[in-house]
Amino acid sequence: MKSTSMLKPSLWFGLLLILFTMAFIQKQEDTNPLLAEWTGPYGGVPAFDKMDVAALKPALEKGMELNLAEIDAITSNTEAPTFENTIIPLEKAGDELGRVFTYYGIWSSNLSSPEFRAVQAEMAPKLSAFFSKINQNEALFERVKVVYENSKKDPLPADQQRVVDLTYEGFAMNGAELDGEAKERYAAINQELAKLHTAFANNVLHDEESYVTYISEDQLSGLPESFVKASAKAAADRGHEGEYAITNTRSSMDPFLTYSDERELREKVWRTYYSRGDNGDEYDNNDIIVKILQLRNERVQLLGYENYATWRLQDRMAKTPENALKLMNDVWPAAIARVEEEVADMQAIADQNGDGITIEPWDYRYYAEKVRKAKYDLDSDEVKQYLQLDKLTDALFFTAGELFNFEFTPVPEGSVPVFHEDVKVWEVTDKDSGEHIGLWYLDPYARPGKRSGAWATTYRSHTTFDGKETVLASNNSNFVKGAPGEAILISWDDAETLFHEFGHALHFLSSNVKYPTLNGGVRDYTEFQSQLLERWLSTDKVIDQFLVHYKTGEVMPDELIQKIKNASTFNQGFATTEYLASSIMDMKYHMMDPTDLDVDSFEREELNKIHMPDEIVMRHRSTQFGHIFSGEGYAAGYYGYLWADVLTSDAAEAFANAPGGFYDKEMAERCVKYLFAPRNSIDPAEAYRLFRGRDASIDALMRDRGFPVPSAD
């Protein structure tokens, strides 16, 4: 064998080049800002100012490589499996990849671009294959299984037992016990689904960005001044100076349909919005839905389940699709009966005005507003004058202070990186001790590349098993940004949504669990905490301090407050029916055989079977139902909002009947202790019983919506 000293100069050069290249690649990986450990104040924060799409793919690839190496270290351990040598390192694994996913989520939801979507399309199946390598790792599952089985003979401390149970069930539900070809097919299906979920979401985003209705000054009749100003800015931002843009998002569509006197334009905007993903072009989602449902069905049959819904609900509060359907079917008759009353009231006003029309879906919001004025003398636009986004943000902080003892302080500008100039950041501390709890990020405005709707997420969750981690939580909305210096006025519904999403953030911030797995949640329970927080919007303390007129600064008058309370059950037929229609269709899709599915026909026929009113459509029509087709988070689970609302109404009555009402200190402490802080460390049903002293019943929900309460029989 030759020594290196005898190598020819050319070979020396080649070797040096290889070594240099390897070092360069390693250096690039080491310095990739998306992989780097978070530094700076507050326990380290994401480097949002260093985001570069070009770094995303290598960061994901390196993150997966590092995570798999951690898994290999667990499985190569020759000692008998224990909680300490198997579950603990599994809880610790994936930190680098988790940091990359934080940036990935921002690009996906807040800053989508053609460059990102190209990376997303390429990496989605690779990420799916990566997760399959972990979920179907036989050696890893065997170690987890040994710990699980041993814990049944010799139980662990409660929180450790919960982690072991959830970990084992997660593996079992995701094909860990499959063999050979079945396991390979399971992984292949996941990769195909990842591509389809991504394509579905991007098709909807395309239609939201590409379809904008521009109107002229003579077509503004009925529209509020604040909406007109925001629409003018939206048009100018898109190069249509002098026109007014109705964007293809709910935050723009909804107020336009509520106030515009131009019926033909209302129909156009309505059809544009509800046709997203259903335009018969390359961005059409009908075929994608069929493929998704077929693959999901095939996958759960590999596991021995009759249908996707049965598989999905086994670890939810509802337990079975039949239980979920029973709840929906219990509420549905009262909802559509109320719709019939609402339509009759609207038609009467249209006839009285001599409008010569029959109420259609694009008329519902418009005439409902007229009925509201006639029945309750309540003008939604008058209410909006008291709903300023900045003041409502202060109301969120006040509520958090009263219930959770949190204080929110703006961080010095520039001290924490943000991914867009509109994003603001607050530090959250304990009001009494000053202890740092975390940071709260707010991204409030709609813009191209940002998905529609409102949502909450965490960049870092609270844990204590490996050193205390403080929380980095965020809320994201799509309010239409006004001109500089103009107050941002929002509807009562949007204000409730603001409180709702903040409820998720408070759930993150109040977490008091040791292990990362326990920061998860059961889907038909985790909406409960956020829905409960909505109730504080209409409390006297919030109204008196924060619902003030944007021009005069005067507090909302008692007369208007009483009108709002009198109308609290108004239009519940519409709100409940459009939501329930989507929930029922979600469950139907995931209980049926999708072999020869025609999406349009199935949607129409199933809605006809349950007597869907002609004047209303599903809140999310199938081709734009991102909750269930752009991923699996809510698939066979959209009913969860109603399930959680049963808990919400019941818990709200507990607060209302307490000596101190919604600000009763004992109730607030019990709420935080049993409903917010535990996250998923105890069974949700047990957590609710600890708070309430009993299970929830449907009665409070029916009272809340002004529906007849079912008889005891």
The span from the CA of 493 to the CA of 212, in Å, is 23
Helix pair 640-657, 523-533: axis angle to 10 deg: 40
DSSP classification of residue 103: H
Number of helical H runs and strand E runs in the chain? 28, 7
Instruction: Name 443's Cβ contacts closer than 8 Å, sequence gap at least 6.
Output: 110, 419, 420, 422, 423, 450, 474, 475, 476, 477
Grouping H, G, I as helix, E, B as strand and the rest as coil, residue 318 is coil
The span from the CA of 158 to the CA of 164, in Å, is 10
∠ CA 182-185-186 to the nearest 5 degrees?
85
Backbone angles phi, psi at 702, to 5 degrees: -65, -40
Give per-residue burial for 48-77: e unless 16+ CB within 10 Å, then b: beebebebbbbbbebbbebbbebbeebeee
H or E segment and range at residue 545: helix 540-546
DSSP classification of residue 471: E
Give the residue among 36, 78, 32, 39 at the shortest CA–CA distance from 57.
Answer: 32
Q: Is 501 a catalytic residue?
A: yes
In this structure, the dihedral spanned by the alpha carbons of residues 411, 412, 413 and 414, taken in order and rounded to 10 degrees, is: -100
Q: Which tokens hold the place of 224?
A: 């509020």
Give the residue among 471, 422, 409, 677 at the shortest CA–CA distance from 42.
Answer: 471
Give the residue among 117, 672, 100 at the shortest CA–CA distance from 402.
Answer: 672
H or E segment and range at residue 121: helix 114-135
Helices (H), 136-249: 138-153, 158-173, 180-210, 225-237
Helix pair 572-589, 599-609: axis angle to 10 deg: 130
Q: Which of 192, 262, 369, 501 is the catalytic position? A: 501
The span from the CA of 486 to the CA of 452, in Å, is 23
Tally the residues of the chain: 713
Give the residue among 93, 184, 89, 80 at the shortest CA–CA distance from 138.
Answer: 184
Task: Show which residues are catalytic.
Answer: 501
